[in-house]
Amino acid sequence: MEINLVSDTVTKPTQEMLRAMFKAEVGDDVYKQDPTVIELEARVAKMFGMEAALFFPSGTMANQTAIKLHTQPGEQLIADKYAHVYNYEGGGASFNSGVSCCLLNGNRGMISAEQVAGAINDPEFYHSPLTSLVCVENTTNKGGGACYDFEEFKKIRKVCDDNNLKFHLDGARIWNALVATKDNPVAYGKVFHTISVCLSKGLGAPIGSLLLSDKATIHRALRVRKILGGGMRQVGYLAAAGIYALDNNIERLADDHRRAKEIGAVLEKLNWVEKVEPVETNILIFSVQPNINEAVLMEKLKQKNISISSMGHGKLRIVTHLDYREVMHTYVLETLEKL
């Protein structure tokens, strides 16, 4: 029994998901003739109260497209210092869009309207880059799966409107946030100009993300996706996995959240653990006492068939997911207690 708690991207399609994929009706999606992709796009757009959606091969490409749509070279976006768009997209903001990032020191990856307001460059002061976009993440990845209070989004949107900025949500784990907070997804469509969502994280599809917005913006996104090489042909086979995931794998995220919390509760009691960050969803970040070597700890766990990841500086990360089942969970709790 190999237990991989490194990421929620390690899940493999189940037989049922594969069957749904095999049965998909497909067409050439570059000509917008794939009925399964069209169905998925319409469904996700509607779910978030947006006019339109576009299927992407990765969340990175969906985010990078959003940045391209909302900025001109030389401009600046505002994000938390932990933001995926800044840390984990290969420098794409500068490579693809020629923009710099103004990074804020947020709380567990979350920034406030007040911080945003203070970070906007005066548009008349032409010596500084023109601020044009604010990007937030929900849940936060490097911030440990934290969920925003929806009221903060409304406040940030107000600051954006007052300053002529666009507002993008990196919603790679928006499903986890929705399950944990019981927020209404339709409200998200009102507050953001664009939203990216992933099907390949907690939902367990092998590939796929979508970018959501109004019709005109999604029409522009089609060209950017083409330029980035993201136009795919009979991709309905993958969209079918996404539809299956939306039907079957959203509510069960609550199990992932419960298991992460239970692991957190066990870690709290262990004397070699220094601190466990609050667990809100499926990501758990903890630090070990200074006398504990994290590489040795990870190796010990590996010998017991449990893989977790290091974030450096004595911090470690555990992510629960669809393929982490109850039997594995029982074993992990016992193993940690005895370690």
Ligand X SMILES: *Cc1c(COP(=O)(O)O)cnc(C)c1O
Name the minimum Å distance from CB 242 to ligand X.
Answer: 13
Give residue number: closest CB to ligand X: 59
Q: Which is nearer to ligand X, 92 or 236 (CB)?
A: 92
Least Å from the CB of residue 123 to ligand X: 29
To ligand X, the closest distance from the beta carbon of 7 in angstroms equals 8
- Going from the C-alpha of 193 to that of each of 133, 164, 233, 275, 310, the distances in angstroms are 10, 12, 27, 37, 34
Q: Which is nearer to ligand X, 168 or 193 (CB)?
A: 168
Q: Which is nearer to ligand X, 59 or 204 (CB)?
A: 59
Side chain identity at residue 155, one-letter code: K
Judged by CB, which is closer to ligand X: 121, or 142? Answer: 142
Q: Which is nearer to ligand X, 198 or 224 (CB)?
A: 198
CB of residue 179 to ligand X, shortest distance in Å: 16
Least Å distance, CB 135 to ligand X, is 10
Residues 183 and 139 sit within 8 Å (Cβ to Cβ): no
- Judged by beta carbon, residue 177 or residue 336, the one nearer ligand X is 177
Smallest distance from the beta carbon of 66 to ligand X, in angstroms? Answer: 11
Question: Among residues 29 and 80, whose Cβ is nearest to ligand X?
Answer: 80
Tokens of 290: 């200074």
CB of 263 to ligand X, least distance (A): 19
- Rounded to a whole number of angstroms, the minimum distance from the CB of residue 293 to ligand X is 28
CB 212 within 8 A of CB 195: yes
Smaller CB distance to ligand X: residue 120 or 173?
173
Binding site for ligand X (CB under 6 A): 58-60, 63, 84, 137, 141, 170, 172, 198, 200-201, 209
Tell me how far apart the alpha carbons of residues 71 and 50 are, in angstroms, rounded to a whole number: 21
